[in-house]
Amino acid sequence: MFDIFKKDKSDHKKDDNLYINISALLIHVAKIDENYSEQEKNIIKKTLLELGLSNQDLDNVFKKSEEIEKNSNQILEFTKEVKNKNEEFKIKIVEALWKIIYADDVSDMYEASLMRRLTGLLYLDAKIVGDIKNKIKNELEASMILFYTGASRSSATIIDDQVTGMRSNKTDTIEGLHEIKNSSYKIKEFLLKGDIQKVASELKLSWEAKKKTSKSISNM
């Protein structure tokens, strides 16, 4: 999927200004609701890496872009170099913009107005931008399936098994609970980064760990 970005990677390295402007644009959108969060910073950094910026240049580029954005309110400056890139490249940026906007689960009138303006400045079709919005908005929901297995379980029994296992220092129980705890931190991190695929993978590992803590937890 990202071959298009790798193809331009050598060009990007020659001109950090492109990445600085992209980052400044994303930061500007993140700040518009006056709630510039770590989650939004992570989305921005992840996007820059996916667009071809190297890990070693990331911190320097990000720091410079924060300084530039702080001293300028002109988004025209931030979009000047981006608007002539290919459509796939610009779509990746728009995806990041919508992820930032929905980082707090809502899109206010100022954010919506800014996105309409950016659609024109980036030379993108309004329908494409709208489709990306819907994709990002529904991404987590579309990546999860809830279904009835036909069996009911008592959580009280499972909790009793876990407490008994802890008190008797049972190896499987202790290991399983530690793994569940570690998974919870990883899931939070992946959610903050907007990496839904890794969330799904870690949920599976967490479930496998939970099965160690009680025989009442099934494979279904």
Assign 27 a pLDDT band (cuts: 50, 70, 90). Answer: very high
Instruction: Give pLDDT tens digits for 136-153.
Output: 777 766 666 777 767 676
11: CATH: 1.10.3680.10
Same structural domain, 123 and 90: yes
Instruction: Give pLDDT tens digits for 48-86.
Output: 999 999 889 999 999 999 999 988 867 888 888 888 888
DSSP-derived secondary structure for 28-95: HHHHTTT---HHHHHHHHHHHHHTT--HHHHHHHHHHHHHHHHT---HHHHHTTTTTS-HHHHHHHHH
Predicted TM-score (pTM) of this structure: 0.57
Same structural domain, 116 and 81: yes
Amino acid 49: pLDDT: 92
Domain end point (choices 102, 137, 172): 137
What is the 3-state secondary structure of 8-29? CHHHHHHCHHHHHHHHHHHHHH
Same structural domain, 121 and 206: no
Separation between Cα atoms, residue 95 and residue 131, nearest integer Å = 10
Same structural domain, 54 and 107: yes
> Which bin fits 169, alpha (ψ -120 to 50), beta or left (φ > 0)?
left
Same structural domain, 120 and 164: no
Amino acid 1: pLDDT: 45
Same structural domain, 11 and 105: yes
Domain end point (choices 87, 108, 137): 137
6: pLDDT strictly greater than 60: no
Separation between Cα atoms, residue 206 and residue 190, nearest integer Å = 14
Token pair of 150, please? 């036909």
Amino acid 108: pLDDT: 65
Q: Is residue 148 part of a domain?
A: no
> With pLDDT > 70 as the criterion, what percentage of the chain qualifies?
83
Domain with 191 in it = 155-211
Q: Smallest Cα–Cα separation from 217: which of 166, 186, 169, 173? A: 173
Question: How far is C-alpha 160 from the chain's CA centre?
Answer: 36
Q: Is residue 150 part of a domain?
A: no
Same structural domain, 188 and 80: no
Same structural domain, 111 and 71: yes
Domain end point (choices 74, 107, 137): 137
Instruction: Give pLDDT tens digits for 92-139.
Output: 999 999 888 887 666 667 777 888 888 888 888 888 888 888 887 777
Separation between Cα atoms, residue 113 and residue 132, nearest integer Å = 16
Assign 2 a pLDDT band (cuts: 50, 70, 90). Answer: very low
Count of domains observed in the chain: 2
Least confident of 64-73, 195-204, 211-220: 211-220
**Rounded-to-10 torsion of CA 31, 37, 43, 45:** 90
Same structural domain, 165 and 68: no
